[in-house]
């Protein structure tokens, strides 16, 4: 993956995550229910999950798992 492709992927992923969706609603609900401090842990969890998803996509692990069904079953 070239730098231009990766930057395009990051830009699209960021733009698609901006509208109010399940992550935003989850953060708002956590903030209202538990306060700002506890909601920040929710935000951190969502950010880490997003980074993990981007890393997996960038490294092409999905393609690897498709090629090797046994590896997919082991990871699953």
Lowest-pLDDT choice from 3-7, 24-28, 72-76:
72-76
- Count Cα neighbours of 13 within 13 Å in the Cβ-side half-sphere: 16
At a CB cut-off of 8 Å and minimum separation 6, what does 47 contact?
none
pLDDT 10s digits, 11-68: 888 888 777 778 888 888 999 999 988 899 999 999 999 999 888 888 887 787 778 8
pLDDT band at 4 (very low <50, low <70, confident <90, very high): very high
**Is residue 75 over pLDDT 80?**
no
- If you average pLDDT over residues 8-12, what whole number do you get? 89
Question: What whole-number distance in Å separates Cα of residue 68 and Cα of residue 75?
Answer: 11
């Amino acid at each position: 993956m070239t730098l231009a492709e990766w930057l395009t992927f990051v830009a699209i992923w960021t733009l698609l995550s901006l509208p109010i969706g399940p992550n935003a609603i989850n953060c708002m609900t956590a903030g209202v229910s538990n306060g700002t401090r506890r909601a920040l842990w929710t935000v951190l969890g969502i950010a880490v999950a997003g980074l993990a998803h981007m890393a997996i996509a960038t490294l092409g692990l999905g393609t690897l798992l498709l090629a090797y069904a046994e590896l997919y079953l082991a990871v699953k």
